[in-house]
Amino acid sequence: MASANIGGGSSGRRKSLDAEINLVPFIDLLSMCICFLLMTAVWVQLGSVQVKQANGTEGAAEAKDTLDLDVKFLAENQVTLSVKSKGRVVKTYQVQGATMADLATAFEKQVQDIQAQMKSQGEISAVMLTPKAGVSYGSMISIMDVLRKNRLVNLGVVPVNPLSGG
Amino acid sequence: MQVGTQALRPNVFAKHLVARSHSTKKNRRTILAALSLTSMVDMFSLLVIFLLQTFSTSPELLVMTKGVQLPVASSGAEITDAPILAIAQDEIFLDQKSVGTVVDVLKDPKGLLAQLQVFRENWSKAHPNEKFKGEINLQAHKDVPSTVISQIMGVLPSQQYGSIQLIVTSGGS
C-alpha cells in the first residue's frame, strides 16, 4: 500500500501522521476504464473521398474563367493530364512510373507544376477522371488522394463501359 | 478481509505473516512475497492515457461488408450517414443486402435502381421539409476494376444520388 510518513519523528509526544492511500479502488477504477476504452475503441479509421456525379443536363458547360483538368488512365501506372480552358485543351502532359507509388509521386509533382504554371490563367476548378479496363479501383483512389492533397476536391468520374476496354 | 481485528492492508498483512512464521515453525524459512503495485498502477495509467488519446467520440456509421478490402487514402474526409453500396469482387450489396452479381447489375441495373428509389422515398418521408441530399457511401474492394466502379457511379445520378462518398481506410503518407 502506498504510504507517506509526514514528520513527527523528533518529539516523542507528537503523534506521527502515517497517511496511507488505499490503491485497491484506484486499481479497480483504472481496470474499468481500460475495459471500457478497449471495448469502445475504433481500430480502423475510415474516411471518404467525395465525388460529384452530374446527371444529364446538370453539368452543362458554361463559359467560366476557371480551368478544368482531365486525368485519363492509359495503364495501371500511366496517366495523361489535360488542362482545359473553356472546354478546349490547352496543354497535355503524360505521367508514368514503374510502380503505382512512383506514379503517384510523379503525378503529384506534375499537378503542382501545372498549378504553378497556370496560376495566371485561373485556378483549376474541377477534375474529371477517366478510368480504363485493367486499372484497379485502388489506383484510381491513389490518384484522387493526390488531387485532394493538392486542394483539388471537386472530382468527377467518367462512366466507362468495362466491356468496351476503356 | 480481516486478520484478527485489523483490516487487511499490505504492511499489516506482512507483519502478520512474519509474526506467524516466527511463532509456528522456527526452523522453516519464511518466503514472503510482496506485490509491488506501483509499476502496475503506472502501466494501467499509461494504458488509460493512450486509450483516451485514441478515443473517438464519433459513432461508427459503417458496417464493413464481408469480402471488401478498402483502398488506403490519407486525405479522407469525415463520413456522413447515408445508404451503403458495397461492391465486392463479384457481388454488390445495398445496406448489407445482396443486389446481385456485378455482371448482372452492370447488364441490368434496374433492380439496384428500384432499391435506391425505395431508400430515397423513405428518406423523403422521414424528412418531409428537407431537400434530398443525394448522398451515398460507396464501399468497394480495392482490386475491383475502376471501370466497374465508374459504371456503377454512372447509374446512381439517375436516382438523384449525385454526391458519392468513396469510403477509404485513412492512412498512408
Based on the domain organization, do B81 and B36 belong to the same domain? no
Interchain pair A46, B169: CB under 8 A? yes
- The closest alpha carbon to A53, from A124, A128, A125, A123, belongs to A128
User: Which amino acid, residue A38?
Assistant: L
Interchain pair B162, A33: CB under 8 A? no
Q: When comparing pLDDT for B58 and A52, which is higher?
A: A52
Which pLDDT tens digit goes with each residue over B113-144? 999 999 999 988 888 888 888 899 999 999 99
Stretch(es) of chain A classified as CATH 3.30.420.40? 63-157
3-state secondary structure of B97: strand
Determine the structural domain holding residue B142 and report its residue range. 72-170
Query: Is the pLDDT assigned to residue B112 strictly greater than 70?
Result: yes
The ipTM estimated for the assembled molecules is 0.72
Name every chain B residue with its beta carbon within 8 A of the beta carbon of A27: 37, 40-41, 44
Interchain pair B168, A45: CB under 8 A? no
Based on the domain organization, do B24 and B104 belong to the same domain? no
Q: Does B1 contact chain A (CB < 8 Å)?
A: no
Based on the domain organization, do B93 and B123 belong to the same domain? yes
Interchain pair B145, A162: CB under 8 A? yes
| pLDDT band, residue B4 (cuts 50/70/90) | very low
**Per-residue confidence (pLDDT) for residue A163, from 0 to 100:** 54
Window 40-99 of B, Cβ < 8 Å to A: 40-41, 44-45, 47-48, 51-52, 54-56, 60, 62, 64, 70-80
Based on the domain organization, do B96 and B156 belong to the same domain? yes
Cα B56 to Cα B60: distance, rounded to the nearest angstrom: 9
**Per-residue confidence (pLDDT) for residue B1, from 0 to 100:** 45
**Per-residue confidence (pLDDT) for residue A129, from 0 to 100:** 92
**Per-residue confidence (pLDDT) for residue A79, from 0 to 100:** 93
Class level of CATH domain A63-157: alpha beta
Q: How many CB atoms lie within 10 A of CB B115?
A: 17
Based on the domain organization, do B27 and B108 belong to the same domain? no
